[in-house]
Every structure is written in structure tokens, then in C-alpha cells.
Chain A
């Protein structure tokens, strides 16, 4: 027998404490800080500008509303999917995730369409502070939404593979939280640009 100094039988390894949930909260915090900055820049410059948006720029109300409605619908479907899996109904969970992925893809396409309408590019007469900030918000929304759709598809594959059970649905919970963040971020942008401008 040899003595191991200072060693006690207190557990060989620490027990992880909800690492995935903490990780998603970290990601969401970072994302919210990013969107808050962009919206703050939009509000700051807009508040000090004589005309906001500048003359010649029209806000596409129809596409903006469609984006908001699509985002809200996707938040409902992802929560439905989580509820279904949590209560032992993977079939409904799969449907919920399929719809979320569909809404997400539609959301990204609508963002693309909206961005292409700005006429943003070298030599464009529409370039100005408004276009820069608005385009930055669209790019950021699109980036987080694409990541979200990829995560939803990943978790959908796990549902199909029967790896999501009522007692093992942490990944779906985490993805749902992330998607909720995507929706909240867009609703904040929508409020700043469409509702309060």
C-alpha cells in the first residue's frame, strides 16, 4: 500500500452542471449584445438625423410584416416540438421541427429578398448611414438564422434517430432557446425599423 498525499475519496471527476444550457445562454447573451449595439447605432444616428430614413428610401412594410409573422410562427413550432418530445411524442416533435426548419428557411429567403432591394453596393445612390446600419442588421439576422436552421436540422435528425427522449431532450431545449433568441432579435429589429421609425 502506498499513501497518496492529500488525496481524498471525494469523487474522481466533477459532475457537469447543465453545460449545454449554460453554453446556449452564453451564446444568446453575446447575440443580444450584438443586436443591441446595432439597434442603438440605428436609434442614435436616426435621432440626430434631419430625415430618417433619408429621402428616397422606402421601408418595405409587406416584407417586414411577413418576416415578423414567419419568425413568430417558427417560435411557436419549435416550442411545440420541444413540448411534444418532452411528453413522449417524437412524431409531433419531428413535425414541429420540420415546420420550424421550413419557417426558418423562409425567413432567410425573405431577408435575402429584402437585402437585395436596398440596392446596396458601390456606386449606389442609396448608400448612406441608414443603408449601412440597416444592412448590418439584415446580415446579422441572416447569419444567426442560418446557424439556427442548421441546429434545428441537426436536432431533427436526432429525433428521427430516436435519440431524443422525454428524459434526454436537453439538446432540443437548447436549440429551442437559441431559436427563441433569433426570433426575439428580429422582433427587436422589426420594432426599431418598422414600428418606431
Chain B
């Protein structure tokens, strides 16, 4: 049976010289998934600067209580750091990676709805800029969507800054919604021949699951924002403390940690890490279908965030929000075991991206241990707004997806930019970002055990001051990690020599079957798909006795 066929070289007449495309054609008017993915990635790194600067100022205030920073300004910077870090940076970074890679992984070479994705990017960018402007333009009301209690109206109606903040959040969410919709339709409808749903690579599957959950949860957020905007603008007192039911509406529709969205970052990170592990183990995942099932289970369980709400402060497993979302740890743990099994059965080779996966596992273990610690110490939960929450956010919600995103950049850089990044720089990025996240997370965990409230600015003891200093050092390390990554990215990808091979890792999935970087049309020829690891299968077939060329 012939499994490979020779492709004749066709002599084609030289095409007439056409004028070079303008900058606007290349970037501003593009509907190419690769350029859109890069735009999302680059924009996300612009926004992480704002988040990082705000975090450092907030940390400095807590480590040095004498610093002249008013409570209002502290609250604004705190809200700016959290919202821009989770939404404008991390979510956009993952959407960028998915927009670039998913069409290649499924052999499509394009997005199903490319104009929708392009519109999604531009509305995200415009909304993100408006978001920052809202914080520069005036006094945005309260801590924003990071506080678990409803944002009460301001007498006389909200100011322009608050309304701009609400509208900008809606624009960013619509941008993510459109980009996610395009990715979901791409995986659902543009898979190449032989690429059944159960053969979709783990990262693409995770994108499908996270996108599907996002399609359900983002409109809920938009509805909450609509109610919040009308309430703030016209003083409807819907979210006033005296209105019964307002807490339930707020915590399920608007509050950042009361919605499934925060778990979606973990799902795509786990999907990407699964592909990283399998690629560098040089064999498919131990049980690919089970891995897809576990990712799906994580998506289903993430919807359990809506079962929380006002009663979470009485939950047994305070402060992991509720039993259903804590159960996400089960499929996550099983997936990690599958990674270990895959590495044990394969021929693992070292790659710097695996360090980031190991770091993420370390953070998850730390988070699990501290969940037990929180139950034993009876730290105040969501309603009590303990500093423990900040530790959990840095260690579990944001930390592992950030680490794996950096690892994914090192893993897929040869394909995306046509040049590998430096392994030594990658090691430095890992050390700085892992140490930064671990130090920040642990410092806030211990502050929680010490009874410190979230966003504390007064009554700070010397012990707490020391822990805030540790958290601040962690923030500085994380900023250093991001800066080294950016410098490595710029210097590595701008050098002319050292071009990457098309398949530098003997990859398993279809993105490694095209050139590095891929042509505009994605593939010259799409390999036949007979398994979840089509390139691995082809290699096995050609190397087996009797295999034919």
C-alpha cells in the first residue's frame, strides 16, 4: 500500500512583478489567521506592561505603607492590574496562539470566519485602549469586576470614566467572543480529510472546549455589563446593597471569579501542555481520547462556577469557591498523570518548554496544598475577602496558564517566526517567572493565614510587611521574566541566520508538516490523517518493514 507519493516539480512561468503589499495591506487589513494571531500576541504584550506597572505600584504601597498613595488610587490600580492582567494580557495571548496554530493543527490553513476574527481583534484592541484611558481619564468607580460584592451606583449617576470602563470591558469581551466563535466554527467545520473530531490535537480540542464554554459565559458577562451600565448611568439601584438578589446577579454575571471564564485559561493551557509533552516525548499521548474527555470534563465543571454565588462563604472547601469547581482538580490531576505516562513510554528529549510545564505542575501542587491549608486554618472566604484569594489567583488561576503560555511560545517559535528562541534565555525566563509567581502566591497565602484582608492598605504588621515585600520581589521577578522573553523574541526572530527547520522536533501534528513559517495559504500539501498523530503514523508506516515510499 502506498502511503507516500512523489510530488512532481512543476515548471511554472514567472509571474509578472506585482507591487509589494503596503503595510496596511499586510497588517491592518489582514484576515490571515497567522497575522491575526501575531497581532493578538503582540497586543497582549503591550497590555501586560500596564498590568505589571500597576502591580508594582500596588505592591510597593503594601510593602511600604508610608508611601503616599490614596485609598482610591490604590483601588483603581488594584483593579487595573487584575483586569488587564487576566483579560487584556493572558486571554488575548492564548487567543493569539490559538488563532495562529489551530488552523494549522487541523490542516485547514485558514479560519472559517476570518473577517469575524479580524473584527474581533480590532474591537479588542480599541476596547483595551479605552480600558486604559478610562483609568487615566478619571476615577473609575471601585475595584471593578474583581470585587465579589456588587458595585453600588454613585449618587447622581456614574462619571464618564466609569461608563468608559464598562463600555471598554464590553468591547473587549465582544472581541474575544468573535475570535472564539471563529475558532469554534473552524474546528467544527474546516478539519481536513481524515481529521475526525476525536483526532483533533489536544490544543485545538482545548480551544474548542474553551471556546464553546466562552460562547455561553461571555454573553452572561455582557448582560451583566448592560445591567451594570444602565444602573450606574441612571442610578437604578439594582446593585444597591438594599436590593435583594443583586448579590446573586453580580457574582454570577459580572464578578471575575464567579464565572467559568477564569477556568478557560487553564483548559487551553492544559491542552497546549499536552501537545508539548507528546511532541517532546516523541509519541502520541498515552490515551488521546481520554485526554480529550478530560479536557471536556474540565469545561463542563467550569460551568459549575455559576452554582457558587452568595453561599460560597459557607462552603466546606472555602475558599475554592465551590465543590464543583474544586472538582476540576480531578481531571487536571489525571491529565498530569497521563503526561508522566506519555513521557515514560516515549523517548523524551529535553526542551526548554518542558520546564514551564513542570513549573505549572509545581504551582498546581502548591495550590492544592494551600486549599487544604485554607480549610484547616479557616481563612475567610470570598465574602471575607482574604488575601489568600490573591495567592490562589497567582498560583492557580493565572500562574500555570502564564507559565505554559511562555513555554508554548518557546515550543512553537520555530513554526511561528521561523527562528527558534534561545534555550538559555528560555531557562532564564522560566526561573524568573516561576520564582516570581511562586513567591507572590506563597506570600499572599501566608498573609491570608495571618488574617490579612484582600487589598490591605492599613493596619499592616511588620510580619505582614515582610510578606508584602516578598510579593513585591515576586512581581519584579515576573516583570524581568517577561522582559527577557520579549528581548529574546525580538533578537532571535530578527536575525537572518539560524532559520528553523520545518519540523525541528519530529513533531506529531500537522503544523509541523508545513514550512517554518508557513506560507500564506497554510500548506502546499496536507498529509493524510489516519490517527491523532498523523506525522508519527506516517513515520511509523515508512519505517516499518515493507513500508513504501
- Taking beta carbons and an 8 Å cutoff, which residues of A are in contact with B? 1-19, 22-23, 26-27, 29-31, 33-38, 40-41, 44-45, 47-49, 120-122, 124, 127-129, 131-133, 135-136, 139-140
Contact = CB atoms under 8 A, between A and B. Distances in A.
5 contacts: A5-B4, A16-B190, A30-B216, A127-B235, A128-B237
Contact of A122 (B5, B157, B219, B523): B157
Contacts of B3: 8
B108 interface: yes
Given A31-B219, A48-B245, A132 B230 contact: yes
B140 interface: no
Interface of B: 3-9, 106-109, 112-113, 157, 177, 181, 184-185, 188-195, 215-220, 222-224, 226-227, 230-231, 233-238, 243-246, 248-249, 253, 513, 523-529, 535, 538, 549
Contacts of A40: 249
Contacts of B227: 38, 41, 132-133, 136
B528 A19 contact: no
B113 A19 contact: yes
A8 B188 contact: no
Contacts of B217: 33
A7 B7 contact: yes
A35 B226 CA distance: 12
Contacts of A120: 234
Contacts of B6: 1-4
B210 to A, nearest CB: 14
B157 A129 contact: no
A11 B193 contact: yes
A194 B178 CA distance: 33
A2 B524 CA distance: 14
Contact of A26 (B181, B525, B549): B181
A139 B227 CA distance: 11
Nearest to B5: A9
B549 A3 contact: yes
Contacts of A48: 244-245
Contacts of B230: 132, 135-136
Contact of B249 (A9, A14, A41, A122): A41
Nearest to A15: B193
A128 B223 CA distance: 17
Contacts of B188: 17, 22
Given A131-B236, A132-B230, 15 more contacts: A3-B4, A6-B513, A7-B524, A10-B194, A10-B527, A14-B107, A33-B216, A37-B220, A37-B223, A45-B238, A129-B236, A129-B238, A129-B243, A132-B231, A132-B238
B528 to A, nearest CB: 4
Contacts of B9: 1-2
A189 to B, nearest CB: 12
Contacts, number: 178
Nearest to A45: B245
B192 A41 contact: no
B11 to A, nearest CB: 12
B7 A3 contact: yes
Given A4-B7, A135-B230, A26 B190 contact: no
Contacts of A27: 181
Contact of A10 (B106, B184, B193, B226): B193
Residue from B107, B194, B245 whose CB has the most chain A CB atoms within 10 Å: B245
A150 to B, nearest CB: 16
Contact of A18 (B189, B235, B525): B189
Contacts of B194: 10
Contact of A44 (B192, B215, B223, B245): B245
B309 to A, nearest CB: 10
B526 A11 contact: yes
Nearest to A31: B219
Contact of B253 (A10, A13, A41): A41
B103 to A, nearest CB: 10
Nearest to B222: A34
A45 B243 contact: yes
Contact of B234 (A6, A13, A35, A132): A132
A34 B216 CA distance: 8
A4 to B, nearest CB: 4
Contact of A127 (B7, B184, B234, B524): B234
Nearest to B181: A26
A13 B195 CA distance: 12
Contacts of B253: 37, 41
A139 to B, nearest CB: 7
Contacts of B523: 12
Contact of B525 (A4, A15, A29, A38): A4
A45 B524 CA distance: 58
A33 B173 CA distance: 14
Shortest Cβ-Cβ A-B pairs, 8 listed: A48-B244, A132-B236, A37-B223, A4-B7, A34-B219, A8-B528, A10-B528, A33-B219
Nearest to B527: A6
Contact of B219 (A23, A30, A135, A136): A30
Contacts of A132: 227, 230-231, 234, 236, 238
Contacts of A139: 226
A128 B526 contact: no
A45 B137 CA distance: 34
A132 to B, nearest CB: 4
B234 A122 contact: yes
A138 B505 CA distance: 55
A35 B528 CA distance: 44
